[in-house]
Chains A and B, each alone.
Chain A
């Protein structure tokens, strides 16, 4: 039963990925810039969280 559930979830996720494979918003310069900035922001933030995690782990 679990195997069937995992398989059906995997199939659903694959269908969703196929359905939304192509972004529908026109990729203008402004959109590309905003998404690029967002990526940079998230990388920075995740980096900070990871740094905090490592520091906390080392202090323990």
Chain B
């Protein structure tokens, strides 16, 4: 065989692998990129403005944390063919099942409101009224789910994930100091001023945005709806790992943006940062606003589905995106109900939006530890998982990560309840 034949053979083989990956790719990338939702983008922009490039290394460390947790949902979904809500009901009985389901519904609904807050704030920079933003977003989300195929929904969602990468070119457009970025990325360091209460709060906020309860429920249900089998698990893990890399890169892009142009300023939300950027460089401001809208949109489409899937699994409704409206009326009814309810709250004049954002942090910490503990216990149950149960190394890694997330997210939630605690 000559060298050209060999090269052609390798090219065909590599292309086959890429095509196979493109078929399997979806839930992992979507959940990870959607993790950078409106709340996440706000946290990153505030972190960059406050601490410059000094905490990029910390975000890089959070990539594997997110991967290890989400990878477990891929295995659990592919082996049991059950979503997380149904798996909890089945394994731990109705008490823990109802607790998880109702807590998920409340957390998701409140988080959805924060996504709509992000979307409306982002488009208000371009003068788009709130009602128009809500109506357009809900219409696009409706079209995405009503076309009747999971595959199509997933690929459209992946396009929105691609749009989330807009922060990367935006970061390059502000001519950031490359040496400071590399130093901040690969040399663990504390910002000038050392370990302060404020820094601790920001670290907690960044960890808090890394893993949210809806992510666990969403990815497991998506794996089931996609029909992933045990043989697809390796690709599912690659998909999740790739998504984890993307989420870190986007988060770093946000930090670079605000660290370069708004260093030392108190930025409370991403929309304010975008408005500041409009005055400095209108293209960067536009990119940030589009990114914020996209982040809120991605969060909203995933979160609303996470709840609808969970309800469908437990109540025994048809609950697949492969079903049309006639085949799964309750599933879609619930989906639209949550969307419209969240969108309506944002439009109410004088609605306590700040209080709602605060509540999300508090309510989420009542669900996250439970969902994570159930995940670990299920992954250690030989009867459920067979040969795919956690290995000793996975247990050490996962239990440490879960314990760390529980402690930090609890402290974060409590500090949201009692803001003076850290002063």
Instruction: Give the interface of A toward B (CB within 8 A).
Output: 12, 16-17, 19-26, 30-31, 34-35, 37-38, 41-42, 45-46, 48-49, 52
CB-defined contacts of A31 to chain B, threshold 8 Å: 377
Establish whether residues B90 and A12, one from each chain, have CB atoms under 8 Å apart when the complex forms.
Answer: no
Q: Which A-chain residue is minimally distant from B376 (CB atoms)?
A: A34
CB-defined contacts of A48 to chain B, threshold 8 Å: 414, 417
**Further 10 A-B residue pairs, CB within 8 A, beyond A20-B97, A25-B384:** A16-B314, A16-B315, A20-B89, A25-B92, A25-B381, A30-B380, A35-B92, A38-B373, A42-B366, A48-B417
CB-defined contacts of A17 to chain B, threshold 8 Å: 94
Is B369 close to A, CB under 8 A?
A: yes
CB-defined contacts of B96 to chain A, threshold 8 Å: 35
Is B142 close to A, CB under 8 A?
A: no
Establish whether residues A23 and B418, one from each chain, have CB atoms under 8 Å apart when the complex forms.
Answer: no
Size category of the binding interface on chain B: 20 to 34
Q: How far is the CB of A60 from chain B (nearest CB, A)?
A: 14
Establish whether residues A12 and B315, one from each chain, have CB atoms under 8 Å apart when the complex forms.
Answer: yes
Alpha-carbon distance A16/B405, docked complex (angstroms) = 31
What 0/1 pattern do residues 382 to 419 of B give for CB contact below 8 A with A?
Answer: 01100000000000000000000010001001100110
Can you show 18 pairs from A to B with CB atoms below 8 A apart? A16-B89, A16-B94, A20-B90, A20-B97, A21-B93, A24-B91, A25-B91, A25-B378, A25-B381, A25-B384, A31-B377, A35-B373, A42-B366, A45-B366, A45-B410, A48-B417, A49-B362, A52-B417
Alpha-carbon distance A24/B377, docked complex (angstroms) = 12
Establish whether residues B417 and A42, one from each chain, have CB atoms under 8 Å apart when the complex forms.
Answer: no
Alpha-carbon distance A49/B97, docked complex (angstroms) = 22
